[in-house]
Each structure stands twice: as structure tokens, then as C-alpha cells.
Amino acid sequence: MTIGRRGMIGALGIGRAALCGLVLALGAAPAGAEEGNVFSNLFKYGGTTVPPSQPKELEAAYCPTVDVPEGGAALTNPPGATAAGIRSQVSLGRVARECTRRADGSISVKVGVEARVLLGPSGAAGRFDVPFTIAIKHDDKTVTTRTRRVAVVVGPGEAQGFTSMVEDDIPVPAAMSADYEIVVGLGGAPKAPTKPKPRRRAPVAAAPSQATTSEAPVEAGAAQ
């Protein structure tokens, strides 16, 4: 089949018109939606517009296992009682933790703790308060401490009761996020060591011929 000169010219005219229309359509695309040009966006993003920027993926958070200090896994009431004199005993159960990295590099820690109250030979049914302490430590120094008290009810005729608590959003500074400890125990936060108070000196009478004296301290009760 032979296409005449006029038909070829007409086809070329239609092709030029279509191309002009395509250029006009592409030119009508919003300039703000272009990164380079429409064709590069098609190949790069699969569409003529640039998709919204995605948030930067955060590094996985370091989440150490929970440490229980010596003496922090159980409490006896009264403290130091003999087996026959124990009224109740509290012991830790399961412990769980979850660590989430924040955009500023710090970490948010969530800790869940279970505990059991067991009546002793001298115990009776009632309401018991269970004290929890959760601490974040770095280089053996306490950074953050949370204390909670949770009630446990042991009903008449029962020998034990259970409780659980969840402490959320415990902060770990970014500078310590690669090396820290999670410490959980029963009881209140350990008291900071206090300096011993200096002993008061016993009053010493000054010699009549001296205005001042310089003597070593004399402890009360040392003189006979």
C-alpha cells in the first residue's frame, strides 16, 4: 500500500500536533512538584511528581537485660524475722523491658514487673504494699530512678496474692545510649552514703595563765 505525498504530510502534521499537546501538558505540571524534570521523576519515582520525603530510619536501640541487685529479689516482713515469725514475703516474678530510639538519639525505656506476696506463718489476710525501684545506671552511677508502690490484696482463706506494674518513658540520654544498665528491685531507692557526723568535743576548761589552748579533741566520757 503506497501512501501519497499529501497523506504523509497530513500524518506528519498530526504527529507534530500530538507532540505539541504532550509538551503543553507536561509544561502544565506544577513546578513545585518537579525535582529535575517529569521524565526523570517517572523513572525515579514511578510518577510525574516527587513523593513526600520519608523520615530517616532510626538506628536500633540498645536494650540490655534487666539486672536485679543483691537483696532486691525478695522482701521479708518483718525484716530479719525467723521462719516462724514471718508475716509476709514479697518476691519478684517475671521482668520485661522495651527500648525505643528517639529522633534526638536518646532512648525511652519501658519496664514491666510482676511480684507475689506470700503469707508467712504469722501472717493474716489483708492489703499489702509492694515497693518497686527501677533505675538507669551508667558507669556504676545512677542516672534516673523511679519508685512505685503497688497494692496487693490477699483475701480471707488465701495464702498469696499477685500484682504487676509497668513503668513507661524512662529516659536514657543519647550520650549514654550505647552503654547503660536497667536495674529493677524490690524496696525503695538506695540511700546515698552520708558523711559521718563529727563527734562533739567535751568542754575543756582553759588554764588561767593561757588565753587560748590547742589540744587534741577529747571524746565525751573519756575522762574518768
Rounded to whole angstroms, the Cα distance separating 61 from 178 reads: 8
CATH code of 66-186, in short, is 2.60.40
- CA neighbours closer than 13 Å in the CB half-sphere of residue 112: 7
In 3D, which of 173, 189, 184 has the Cα closest to residue 65?
Answer: 184
Do the beta carbons of residue 107 and residue 136 sit within 8 Å? Answer: no
Cβ neighbours of residue 46 under 8 Å, at least 6 residues apart? none
Considering only CA atoms, give the Rg of the chain: 38
Q: What's the pLDDT tens digit per position in 91-118?
A: 999 999 999 999 999 999 999 999 999 9
Do the beta carbons of residue 115 and residue 101 sit within 8 Å? Answer: no
Rounded to whole angstroms, the Cα distance separating 149 from 106 reads: 27
For residue 212, the model assigns a pLDDT of: 28
For residue 188, the model assigns a pLDDT of: 75
Digits of tens for pLDDT over the chain (224 positions)?
A: 455 555 544 544 545 554 444 444 444 444 444 455 656 656 565 666 666 666 677 889 999 999 999 999 999 999 888 888 999 999 999 999 999 999 999 999 999 999 999 999 999 999 999 999 999 999 999 999 999 999 999 999 999 999 999 999 999 999 999 999 999 999 975 444 444 444 444 444 444 333 323 333 333 333 33
pTM: 0.60
Annotated domain spans of the chain: 10-45, 66-186
For residue 81, the model assigns a pLDDT of: 87
